[in-house]
Amino acid sequence: MATPLPCRLRRYACIAPTIHLYRRPRSTPALSTVTHVTFDADVKTAGGEPRNIERIRVAALRSFALHGTSATTMRGVAAAAGVSLGLVQHHFATKAGLISAVDEYVVKLFVSSLARPLPEPPVDSVTEIGTRVTTILAEHPDVAAYLSRALVDGSPVGAQLFDTLLAVGIARWQQRVDRGEVSPDVDLTWAAINSMVLALGTISLKAHVERHLGEPLTSPGQLERWQKSVDTLLREGLFVPGPTP
């Protein structure tokens, strides 16, 4: 059955009032039809150039990722975006409004991809989810840097993303149980949390992880290496099967 999200998180879930991950409700389009979510800020002009609001959001995301929200000024964001301070204030009013817009973009970016239903067997669901995560980070490397800060500094977006993805993850593991892919007595909450820790933990410790990689985590080679390692751990474990204690 579909897993309801807490009320405060529903606006991030693409559909409301419930994320119907695996069954199509009568009045709601199936999530399997969602291949890309276009946000207002992503719309470009007729000449192919990003709209001002998109340039501002990108500049803010990069500045927040590099310097943190406290050290970022609206004037600095305006300069980085190549627009006037007045235009930033026109679109977002205050720095709090700008932070909120960036947070919402980041949460939607993850949820619109990860809340899509799992494909039917024989597609490997572990590889499928791993590919969705690494694709987001490959196409949006600034998001990884932003989340690295947000997940450890108590930022509201860190809590929003964690809570939303946990609800999605529990429903995903329930589907695996229903399809007979995993043991029926699996602890769904911890199955979802452990999967998230492998992904979000790596992102939150990105700076330390990269010291041992020799190149950015978001480089193609390292993303492929990371996904292969995590997929193997989730699917097969790391120890050679031995006698049951």
Q: 160-190, pLDDT tens digit by residue?
A: 889 999 999 999 999 999 999 998 899 999 9
Supply the pLDDT for residue 82. Answer: 96
Identity (one letter) of the amino acid at 109?
L
Give the model confidence (pLDDT) of 105-150 as tens digits: 999 999 999 999 899 888 899 999 999 999 999 999 899 889 888 8
Supply the pLDDT for residue 154. Answer: 82
Q: Whose CA is closest to 21, among 135, 156, 158, 171?
A: 171
Q: Whole-angstrom Cα distance, residue 106 to residue 7?
A: 19
Task: Tell whether the torsion through CA atoms of 10, 15, 20 and 25 is positive or negative.
Answer: positive
Q: Which domains does the chain have, with CATH numbers?
A: 7-236 (1.10.357.10)
Query: 116 versus 33: which is more confidently predicted?
Result: 116
Residue indicated by tokens 């679109």: 91
Against a cut of 0.85, is the pTM above it?
A: no
Query: 41 versus 239: which is more confidently predicted?
Result: 239
* Other C-beta atoms lying within 10 Å of the C-beta of residue 114: 18
Across the chain, mean pLDDT equals 81
Residue 31 — very low, low, confident or very high, per pLDDT cuts 50/70/90?
Answer: very low
- Cβ atoms of 1 and 171 within 8 Å: the answer is no
